[in-house]
Chain A
Amino acid sequence: MKYLDEYRSAELVGNLVRAIRSAVTHPWTIMEICGGQTHAILRFGLDELLPPQITLVHGPGCPVCVTPVSLLDAAGRLARMPGLILCTFGDMLRVPGTQGGLFQARAEGGDVRIVQSPSEAVRIAEQNPNRQVVWFAVGFETTAPATALAVKQARLRRLDNFSVLLAHVRVPPAMEAILSSPSNRVQGFLAAGHVCTIMGTAEYEDLARRFHVPIVVTGFEPCDILEGILHCVRQLEAGRHEVENVYSRVVRSNGNRQAQALMAEVFRPVDLAWRGIGSLSGGGLAFTPEYESFDAVSRFGPCEPAATGGPFSLADTGRNQEDCIAALVLQGIRKPNECPAFGVRCTPETPLGAPMVSSEGACAAYYRYRHRESYLATVTPP
C-alpha cells in the first residue's frame, strides 16, 4: 500500500538496525511516549532487532490509561441518566471505574454510543433535539482540536442539548513529571509524532535543555521508529540533548497553527491527576470562560457521590490492586512483563490496571504480542 509499505520495507529496516548497532557503545534507556508507538514496536518485533545495549521503556501515551477514575465514574453516572446520550471513543467502554465501566452502564440501559469523531456527537445532538447529548472527550493534543471544533459547531448551530465531559490531557507535563521523578531511568525520548503535528516542537526545547535529554519527534511505522532511535542514540553517544524532528513528512516545527488557535480559544490548561501518575500541573484542559456553558460538569451539577471518591472530584480514587505495577509501567520505571500479576491474574479479561484494559495500553500490547513469548524460542530467530 502506497505511503505505508515504504516505511515497512525490510531492506530499510535492516539498514537502520545496522546503523544503530554501529552507533551504540553504551547502554541507553529510551522512552517512546505514545501507545501507538509501543504497539508498533511490539507488533513488528522492533525491540528484538535492536542491540542489547538499548532498552526501550514505554511511556504514558495512552489517554484511556491515564483518564482519572473520577471522570470515568462521572461518565458512568451521566450514561445512567434517563434520556441522556453519552458518546465516546470505543476504547473508553472497556475501562472500569469504581461503578463498573461504560459497558456496564450500557447493559443497565444507558444510551452509550461509540463514535469515530466528536463531530458525530454533534450530529447526534442535532438529530435528537429533545435529548441531552454528552461527548466524553478523551485524548491528547491530537484529539483536543476536534473537540474544540465540535463545541464551536454546536454553538454556531445553537445546540443547547450538547455538552462535553472533558478528559483531554497534555503530554509535556507528563514528560516533565517522569524526568523529575527520583526513580527516573529515561535518558532519551521519542516524542509522539501526532501530538507534534498539532503542537509543533517548541514546547519540548525547554524540557531538553533543563533535563539534558534528547527528544526526537518520531512517527509510527517501523522505519520511523528505528530512525527516531538512531537519532536519539547518536545524540546520547555524542552527549547532545536537542529537539530533533525525524518525522518531517508530517510534523512542522510550528505545528498546526489553526488547531492551536482553536484550542487556545476553547480550552485553558488546568491541573489534573492522571491515573497512575498523580497530579500534573497543566496536565489537563478546561473550558475558557466563553465556552464554560458546554461543560457537562457545570450543566449536570455534581452527580450522586460515588461510594468511593467525591462527586466529579479530579482526585484519583485509585482502584489498582496491591500488586499491580501499572503506575510504574506508566512512568517507564518497570516493564509490563516484570509484573508478578502479568498474564497470570492480570489479563485483558480480568485486568488489574488500566494499561491492561485499553488496547493502546502497554500491558495490553505485551499481553497481545508477548505473554507467550516462550513460543518464539522454537521459531528461527531473525
Chain B
Amino acid sequence: MTSLVCPNPFEESGRVLLAHGGGGRLMHRLIESVFRPALGNATDLDAAVLPPTNGRLAFTTDSFVIKPLFFPGGDIGSLAVHGTVNDLAMMGARPLWLSVGFILEEGLPLETLKRIVASMRQAAQAANVQVVVGDTKVVEHGRCDGLYVNTSGIGVLGHDRVLGPQAVREGDAILLSGDVGRHGIAVLAARNELEFEVPVRSDSASLSQPVLDLLEAGVEVHCLRDLTRGGLATALVEIARSSALHLHIHEESVPVQDAVRGACELLGFDPLYVANEGCMVVILPEAEAERALTRLRQHEVTAQAVRIGTVLADPPGAVTTTTALGSRRVLDMLSGEQLPRIC
C-alpha cells in the first residue's frame, strides 16, 4: 500500500535550494542538520562575544574560490581554515577565533556541504582554533562554482615584536619549512586537466604549532612568510622588496618531491613558482638557524625544514639563486600565470 504522506519536497532533493538562504524554516533546518553538528553554536547569535585577551591582537581575512572543491590532501573547507590560521601564524599570533562565511550555489548536494563543513571542523580542531560566528547565503544555479568560503581570524600575540620584512637584517639565515610545489600540482591534477596521473597530495596544513613552538622557545624570529600563490620565488621577492635587502638562495637546497619535479618538467613549470599551502620561509639571525631547524623538524608539517640561503645587503630588492651547476640567476615575480608550454 502506498503511503499517503506527501514527501517534503526540500528534504527529498538533497541539494541546496535558494530557500536555504532565505532565513526561514529551511535555513534553520540547514543550520541544525549541517552547521551545528560540525561547528557548534557558532551560528546562534548575531555576533560572537569574545572574552578579553592578554596581548595585542592580529586580525585577518581570506576568501577561497578553489576549483575543484576536493583535491588530494584537502578540500576547500580545510584550506579555508589553514589559509587564515597560517596568515595569523605568520605574524607570530596564536590563532583563537574564526568566522566562516559561505556562499552556496543552488543545487549543491547537501552531502558535499556536510563533508566540507566536517573537514573545516577537523582542521579547526587540529589548529586549536574555534569557529565562533558564521553566515550563509545562497545564489542561483550558475552564479558560483559550487561554493565559496570566506574565513576571518583573530589571534593573540604573546610577544611585543613585529615580525615581517622590516625586521630582516643583513646576514640573516633563510630557512624553508618543507618541500615546494605540492599544492599547485595536486590541484592541477585534481582538475583532470593533465593527461597523466600525478601521485601528489597537497601540503595544505596549519603552520601554527611549529611557529608557536619557535617563539615560545625564545628563538629570535625576524620574518615568517607562508608560500601561497606564486610559490617560494614570489614570497622571497616580496620580502626582498619590502626589506630593501638582497636574498640569495641555493636552488639545490630547496626540497622538491620527485613527482612534483616530474610534473613540472612535463608542463614547463618552475617548481619555485608553484603554490604551497603548508610551507613557510623563516628568516632569523644566523646564530639561531640551527636551533630553529632542530625545533621545526620535530613537527610533522615542518619535518623537512632546511636552510636555503642568506640575506645580503646589496643590491636592495634582489633575489638571486646559485644553480646546481654553480651558475647564477635572478628570481623575479612571474608575469601572469604559469601556463603549460607547447613544445
CB distance from A104 to the nearest CB of B (A): 14
| Residue of B with least CB distance to A5 | B324
Contact present for B326 and A139 (CB under 8 Å): no
The complex places the Cα of A321 from the Cα of B47 at a distance, in Å, of 58
* Listed A/B pairs (15) with beta-carbon separation below 8 Å: A8-B324, A8-B325, A10-B324, A49-B325, A89-B340, A114-B340, A139-B343, A347-B335, A359-B338, A369-B329, A376-B330, A378-B315, A379-B328, A381-B328, A382-B328
CB distance from B337 to the nearest CB of A (A): 8
Is residue A348 contacting chain B, with contact meaning CB distance below 8 A? yes
One digit per residue, 1 when the CB lies within 8 angstroms of any chain A CB and 0 when it does not, for chain B 286-327 equals 000000000000000000000000001011001110111111
Is residue A237 contacting chain B, with contact meaning CB distance below 8 A? no
Contact present for B261 and A1 (CB under 8 Å): yes
Knowing A42-B329, A48-B328, say if A116 contacts B343 (CB, 8 Å). no
Of B325, B339, B341, B343, the residue contacting A13 (CB under 8 A) is B325
| Residue of A with least CB distance to B321 | A379
Contact present for A375 and B330 (CB under 8 Å): yes
CB neighbours (8 Å) of A376 from chain B are 320, 328-330
Of A10, A93, A359, A378, the residue contacting B341 (CB under 8 A) is A359
CB neighbours (8 Å) of B335 from chain A are 347-349, 364, 367
Contact present for A94 and B336 (CB under 8 Å): yes
One digit per residue, 1 when the CB lies within 8 angstroms of any chain B CB and 0 when it does not, for chain A 192-230 equals 001000000000000000000000000000100000000
Contact present for A10 and B343 (CB under 8 Å): no
Within 8 A of A (CB), among B237-261: 246, 248, 258, 261
CB distance from A343 to the nearest CB of B (A): 10
CB neighbours (8 Å) of A91 from chain B are 339-342
CB distance from A217 to the nearest CB of B (A): 16
CB neighbours (8 Å) of B336 from chain A are 94, 348-349
CB distance from B81 to the nearest CB of A (A): 31
Of B319, B327, B342, the residue contacting A382 (CB under 8 A) is B327
Contact present for B258 and A1 (CB under 8 Å): yes
The complex places the Cα of A271 from the Cα of B330 at a distance, in Å, of 40
Is residue B62 contacting chain A, with contact meaning CB distance below 8 A? no
The complex places the Cα of A194 from the Cα of B342 at a distance, in Å, of 12
Contact present for B340 and A116 (CB under 8 Å): yes
Contact present for A90 and B330 (CB under 8 Å): no
Is residue A83 contacting chain B, with contact meaning CB distance below 8 A? no
For the residues of B in contact with A, the DSSP-based class is loop
CB neighbours (8 Å) of A368 from chain B are 332
Q: A1-B258, A114-B340, A379-B248 are in contact. List 9 more A-B contacts (CB 8 A).
A: A10-B324, A10-B326, A34-B343, A36-B341, A63-B342, A91-B341, A116-B193, A142-B343, A348-B335
The complex places the Cα of A370 from the Cα of B268 at a distance, in Å, of 19
Query: Number of contacting residues on A, CB 8 A?
Result: 55
CB distance from B156 to the nearest CB of A (A): 39
CB distance from B181 to the nearest CB of A (A): 13
The complex places the Cα of A89 from the Cα of B315 at a distance, in Å, of 38
Of B195, B315, B339, the residue contacting A90 (CB under 8 A) is B339
Contact present for B328 and A90 (CB under 8 Å): no
CB distance from A86 to the nearest CB of B (A): 15
Contact present for A90 and B320 (CB under 8 Å): no
Knowing A375-B246, A376-B328, say if A35 contacts B195 (CB, 8 Å). no
CB neighbours (8 Å) of A93 from chain B are 339
The complex places the Cα of A49 from the Cα of B329 at a distance, in Å, of 12
The complex places the Cα of A120 from the Cα of B59 at a distance, in Å, of 45
CB neighbours (8 Å) of B270 from chain A are 43
Is residue B144 contacting chain A, with contact meaning CB distance below 8 A? no
Of B195, B246, B329, B338, the residue contacting A117 (CB under 8 A) is B195
Contact present for A373 and B342 (CB under 8 Å): no
Contact present for B323 and A369 (CB under 8 Å): no
The complex places the Cα of A196 from the Cα of B324 at a distance, in Å, of 29
Of A8, A120, A371, the residue contacting B195 (CB under 8 A) is A120
One digit per residue, 1 when the CB lies within 8 angstroms of any chain B CB and 0 when it does not, for chain A 80-112 equals 000000000111111000000000000000000
Within 8 A of A (CB), among B113-155: none
Contact present for B194 and A116 (CB under 8 Å): yes
Is residue B55 contacting chain A, with contact meaning CB distance below 8 A? no
CB neighbours (8 Å) of A371 from chain B are 330, 332
Is residue A285 contacting chain B, with contact meaning CB distance below 8 A? no
Is residue B44 contacting chain A, with contact meaning CB distance below 8 A? no
CB distance from B157 to the nearest CB of A (A): 35
Is residue B262 contacting chain A, with contact meaning CB distance below 8 A? yes
Contact present for B330 and A45 (CB under 8 Å): no
Contact present for B343 and A194 (CB under 8 Å): yes
The complex places the Cα of A368 from the Cα of B339 at a distance, in Å, of 15
Is residue B32 contacting chain A, with contact meaning CB distance below 8 A? no
CB neighbours (8 Å) of B111 from chain A are none
Contact present for B329 and A378 (CB under 8 Å): no
CB neighbours (8 Å) of A181 from chain B are none
Is residue B265 contacting chain A, with contact meaning CB distance below 8 A? yes
Contact present for A143 and B343 (CB under 8 Å): yes
CB neighbours (8 Å) of A63 from chain B are 342-343
Contact present for B341 and A360 (CB under 8 Å): yes
Of B248, B258, B330, B341, the residue contacting A372 (CB under 8 A) is B330
| Residue of B with least CB distance to A49 | B327
Knowing A4-B265, A64-B342, A369-B329, say if A378 contacts B312 (CB, 8 Å). yes
CB neighbours (8 Å) of A367 from chain B are 335
CB distance from A12 to the nearest CB of B (A): 10
The complex places the Cα of A90 from the Cα of B320 at a distance, in Å, of 28
A-B complex: 7 closest residue pairs judged by Cβ atoms? A45-B327, A348-B335, A90-B339, A89-B342, A375-B318, A382-B326, A90-B340
Is residue A138 contacting chain B, with contact meaning CB distance below 8 A? yes
CB neighbours (8 Å) of A48 from chain B are 327-328
